[in-house]
Amino acid sequence: MESQLEPTIQVTANGPYLVNGGLEVRRADGVILETREKYALCRCGGSNNKPFCDGTHAKIGFDGTESADHGPIRDRQDRYSGDGVTIDDDRSVCAHAGFCTDGLPEVFRLGQEPWIAATEASASEIIDRVKKCPSGALAVSIADSPELVEDDLPKCVNPVPNGPYRVTGGVQVLAADGSPYEVRNRQTLCRCGNSPNKPFCNGTHWRIDFQAP
156 pLDDT above the threshold of 80: yes
Farthest CA pair distance, the chain: 54
pLDDT-derived band at 1, boundaries 50, 70, 90: very low
Domains of the chain: which residue ranges? 8-67+152-208, 73-142
Q: What is the average per-residue pLDDT within 123-145?
A: 95
Q: Length of the chain in residues, anyone? A: 213
Annotation: CATH topology of 8-67+152-208: Ribosomal Protein L9; domain 1 (3.40.5)
CATH number of 73-142: 3.30.70
pLDDT of residue 54: 98
Over the chain, what is the mean pLDDT? 95
**What pTM, to 2 d.p., does this model score?**
0.94
Q: What is the average per-residue pLDDT within 151-167?
A: 96
3-state secondary structure labels for all residues of the chain: CCCCCCCEEEECCCCCEEEECCCEEECCCCCEEECCCEEEECCCCCCCCCCECCCHHHHHCCCCCCCCCCCCHHHHCEEEECCCEEEEECHHHCCCCCHHHHHCCCCECCCCCCCECCCCCCHHHHHHHHCCCCCCCEEEEECCCCCECCCCCCCEEEECCCCCEEEECCCEEECCCCCECCCCCEEEECCCCCCCCCCECCCHHHHHCCCCC
Q: What is the average per-residue pLDDT within 157-176?
A: 97
Rounded to the nearest angstrom, the gap between the alpha carbon of residue 202 and the centroid of all alpha carbons in its chain is: 9
Q: What are phi and psi of 60, to 5 degrees?
A: -100, 0
Distance CA 138, CA 116 (A): 11
Mind listing the pLDDT tens digit for each residue in 64-104?
999 999 999 999 999 999 999 999 999 999 999 999 999 99
